[in-house]
Structure 1
Amino acid sequence: MNAARRSPDGAFRRLDLTVQRRVSGLLQGESAGLRLGPGSDAEELVPYSPGHDVRRIDWNATARLGDPHVWLTQAEHELETWVLVDRTPSMAFGTALAEKVEVAEATVSAIGIVADGPGNRVGLGILDAGGVRWRPPTTGRRVARRLLTAEPPSPRTAETATVGPTFAAALVELGRRARIPGLRVIVSDLLPADGTWERPFDWEPPLRRLTARHDVIVVEIVDPRELDLPAVGHVTILDPETGRQHEVDTSDPRLRAAYAEAMRSLREHNAEAVRAAGADHLRVSTDDDWARLLIRLLRRRARHPRPARSRAATATH
């Protein structure tokens, strides 16, 4: 993927070919809404009341129950997708096939291409050291090209380090901007900039608010070297988010064991927090075949659609 940075148009063409060959069609077409409304698929049988479409009367149910009953349908509409991509300094790291930010951008770009259908729109938010830059909804292919041609993030140094925006604040902004129910894709390494390794995380409440209204996918990007410390003696480690430096002796087996346990615990807590919020969770490593993992997730979602929100709450809208 590093070569792809030097030739963005070539990278886009290769990604487009990969997506069309491997994941095409899994998000395209008319999308089921989160509320009852105009559509073609019967969703709920209710007693007839003035204003209901008489063409939806179920005569068998009416004869059986003694009163007119009609089928309400689930609304169908164009799919509006918003993606939030984490490009903070911690994402500019990779020891395997690519940097985390490259895997993140390729994954989200692929979703943009797959979601590119008639009337469908994709909005983009890029979280970096300077804040969140928002791009208005447009076609998925334009979003994919924007991500693949964007300049890569630079690691933060101790001299230039400042307190940057938080992931939680970016989720709050996403909820304010993206009010039409649809698909929301969030891609981040979920590394805690404040050193909080255990739940509850500060990003859980805004994520729960998002899933209450939207269908949400959280893609967590990891690198193998982040999970275990190699035994290479005394080293100086730089925190890319804060610029702080730490002197550690990686030859100490107790230190390596404690680090591995902390990272294992963090990943478990991340997965638990995402599931508790009601979002889909996909973990991708820089040494993974991200396209294969994305296909698996999208096919599972196609076979087992997420249930619509509470009918009691939405039938009156």
Structure 2
Amino acid sequence: MASAPDRLLRRLEWQVIRRLDGQLQGAYRTVFRGSGIDFADLREYTHEDDVRHIDWNVTARLDEPYVRQYTEDRELTAWLVLDLSASMRFGGAADDGRGKDGVLTELAVCLARLFTQGGNRLGAILYDNGLQRVVPARTGRTHVLRLAHEIGKATDELAHRKDTSVGVATDVDGMLRLAASQARRRSLVFVISDFLSGDTVNWEDSLSRLTHRHEVVAIRVVDPMELDLPDLGLVLVEDAETGEQVLVDTSDPMFQQRLREEVDVREGAVAAAMRRSRVTSHRISTDQDPLLALVEMVRWSKRRRA
């Protein structure tokens, strides 16, 4: 009998990977033009160029901005940075019971298969405050199966562990710093997380540093109830990150208004940090089909770069 990772991979290959084969790689490889390893040439700067590619020495000599061009690497290295923290185990209210961790798993396995089947290398970082696991960059279907197994193993381990990190917000900053230390050569980095790190956005500097060297795509996974809590009467609410429990009346208009204001502030802060870090950001909800959402992400990327 096929294992759970093998069944998941077969389903993803049948449902979506054939539809995206050649599209995702083509959509994102173009971002490496002018950003490879081997220097090729100089040309005058245009307003569409990334200012990070300006050669300041030549610009100073010629009194005109010039950018450096590089030959593109034949093979692409990609990394998946996967947030397995307590808040990612929230959700599952949809008919299929898929929570944020389920969305993360399907996205991760699908992306891994898409990139490795073209001969590209892919690594992964599995992160929680109490668990950090690095899957070295490899290629091939067997490697994808190993990654799916590692995600399932880590998720089960964290679900059954007495969480020693309760009371401590997710260290998203630490997760991004670990990613930067592991991805040594220029890579395409997918960060799949809810980017919830307590009351403050403390990870912007680390995200900016990661973006300075790599092409970074942030995929935010959210649950509808995190954005708009329905009227459920009196409920006991527990903060997945801190473990704090509070009895609230969800039918209270004052509570609903205060909650919406807090959500707006949080979402605005996260979106602003993404923009300042110059990161391509997508948001996927647990009430969406993650695979269809991935197809739309690819189409959006291709339209944007056309």
For the aligned pair, the TM-score class normalised by the smaller chain equals: 0.7 to 0.9
* Cα contact 1:175–1:210 (8 A) shared by 2: yes
Q: CA deviation at 1:131?
A: 2.9
Q: CA deviation at 1:275?
A: 2.0
What pairs up with 1:1-317 in 2 under 5 angstroms? 7-28=4-25, 31=29, 32=32, 34-35=34-35, 44-45=42-43, 74-94=71-91, 95-96=93-94, 97=96, 98-139=98-139, 141-142=141-142, 144-149=144-149, 150-151=152-153, 152=155, 153-154=158-159, 161=166, 163=168, 166-192=171-197, 194-196=198-200, 201-305=201-305
Q: CA deviation at 1:145?
A: 2.5
Q: CA deviation at 1:260?
A: 2.0
Letter in 2 for 1:216: V
Letter in 2 for 1:21: R
What do residues 221-247 of structure 1 show as CA deviations (whole Å, max 9, x unaligned)? Answer: 011111122323322211222222122
Measured in 1, the distance between the counterparts of 2:236 and 2:161 equals 15
- Normalised by the size of structure 2, how large is the TM-score? 0.77
Letter in 1 for 2:188: L
Aligned-pair Cα RMSD in Å: 3.0
Q: What is the number of equivalent residue pairs in this alignment? A: 270
What do residues 162-210 of structure 1 show as CA deviations (whole Å, max 9, x unaligned)? Answer: 6476111110111111121120000011123x323xxxx2110000011
* Cα contact 1:28–1:117 (8 A) shared by 2: no
Measured in 2, the distance between the counterparts of 1:238 and 1:103 equals 21
Q: Between Structure 1 and Structure 2, which shows a larger proportion of helix residues? A: 2
Measured in 2, the distance between the counterparts of 1:218 and 1:259 equals 25
* Cα contact 1:83–1:185 (8 A) shared by 2: yes
Q: CA deviation at 1:89?
A: 1.1
Partner SS state of residue 219, structure 1 = strand
* Cα contact 2:90–2:240 (8 A) shared by 1: no
Measured in 2, the distance between the counterparts of 1:168 and 1:43 equals 36
* Cα contact 2:117–2:141 (8 A) shared by 1: no
Measured in 1, the distance between the counterparts of 2:163 and 2:102 equals 24
Measured in 2, the distance between the counterparts of 1:299 and 1:159 equals 41
Structure 1 pair 178–231 and aligned structure 2 pair: CA distance change class (3 A): same
Letter in 1 for 2:187: G
Q: CA deviation at 1:282?
A: 0.7
Letter in 2 for 1:187: I
Structure 1 pair 129–280 and aligned structure 2 pair: CA distance change class (3 A): same
Partner SS state of residue 21, structure 2 = coil
Q: Is there any run of 5+ residues in structure 2 with no aligned partner, and where?
A: 45-67
Q: CA deviation at 1:93?
A: 1.6
* Cα contact 1:78–1:120 (8 A) shared by 2: yes
Structure 1 pair 303–182 and aligned structure 2 pair: CA distance change class (3 A): farther
Letter in 1 for 2:180: G
* Cα contact 1:131–1:165 (8 A) shared by 2: no
Partner SS state of residue 73, structure 2 = strand
* Cα contact 2:167–2:244 (8 A) shared by 1: no
Q: CA deviation at 1:17?
A: 1.7
Measured in 2, the distance between the counterparts of 1:132 and 1:148 equals 16
* Cα contact 1:37–1:73 (8 A) shared by 2: yes
* Cα contact 2:126–2:132 (8 A) shared by 1: yes
Measured in 1, the distance between the counterparts of 2:253 and 2:146 equals 44
* Cα contact 1:108–1:144 (8 A) shared by 2: no
Q: CA deviation at 1:142?
A: 4.3
**Once structures 1 and 2 are overlaid, which stretch shifts more, 211-220 or 102-111?**
102-111
Q: CA deviation at 1:249?
A: 2.0
* Cα contact 1:19–1:114 (8 A) shared by 2: no
Q: CA deviation at 1:160?
A: 7.7
Measured in 1, the distance between the counterparts of 2:286 and 2:138 equals 29
Measured in 1, the distance between the counterparts of 2:15 and 2:208 equals 33
